[in-house]
Amino acid sequence: MEYVNLGRTGLQVSRLCLGTMNFGPQTSEADSHAIMDKALELGINFFDTANVYGWKKGEGWTEQIIGRWLAQGGMRREKVVIATKVFGIMDDWPNHSRLSAYHIRRACDESLRRLQTDRIDLYQMHHVDRSTPWEEIWQAMEQLVTAGKVLYVGSSNFAAWHIASANEAASRRNFLGLVSEQSLYNLTERSIELEVLPACRKYGLGVIPWSPLGGGALGGALKAASQGRRAGENAQKLIQKHRGKLELYEALCREIGQEPAIVALAWLLAQDGVTGPIIGPRTAEQLVGAQKALELKLDEDVLHRLDEIWPGPGGPAPEAYAW
């Protein structure tokens, strides 16, 4: 396993991040525990979750599954960097969502209880809250850091100007601010290259791409269009939207003798500023397979051909659309 610093921090995390969104709804608790055990065996020390995962409002089902795994001991907690998120609706009562100081404090304590731990290593804002001032958000986060309940703060689904605003406000308070950004990023969706990636590089944020396989479209969708998640309505829409590009992409993957999913992950790993993509295996076998991406180093010719098939926005703004 390869490890890198998370953004400008001294925290070392694996270049593959274990996503846990399937734990509960798609993957049984026993299988989820087996996947986390296998992750440790492979050297993956970076686990991502959220208080809303499990999709049973207010229950934090996925966090509970992780908490019972951590409670088994065996140095599990000491070996992993736990990242969870705050923002989502936990019940229909006022102040039980978004990023008010009231909700941040309450949500943190509830996540700690479900995870059966005394700290959250990376506490991520799941979405920007345009109705709460940064002074309030940072005061709440500072209190959690001072109490030892949170070590680092990250963002998810932020625009570049949100990242700049957040970190400038944190700097005025002599606070570390955001150290990571979790964004939608894959070969089919490269819009963060315009401004989010440059902002992350400027402010020293590690980039953690979610949906690295484009909702399954980049995982060999044409070959297995009738199987599993690729048979779903959303997946079929993606396949139809990108069919021509997918045909070229899968042909290129066959030419270089690599699985499409591994090429998609390897491409992300080759992008400047990317800490590690979030992989969301439903089985331990899928987790083991994803590790092949760490061994695949795409040469300049293949990277150029991928750019031709899946052109990005043209680089950073404003050069991408002006001069």
Beta strand ranges found along 211-283 (DSSP E): 278-279
Distance of CA 306 to the CA centre of its chain: 22
**Residue 301 CB burial class (10 angstroms; 0-12, 13-18, ≥19):** exposed
User: First CA to last CA across the chain, in angstroms?
Assistant: 41
**Residue 233 CB burial class (10 angstroms; 0-12, 13-18, ≥19):** exposed
Phi and psi, residue 67, nearest 5°? -60, -40
Which residues are annotated as catalytic?
A: 53
How would DSSP label each residue in 300-318?
A: HHHHHHHHHHS--SSSSTT
According to DSSP, the residues that pair with 85 across neighbouring strands are 124
Alpha-carbon distance 3 to 301, whole Å?
Answer: 26
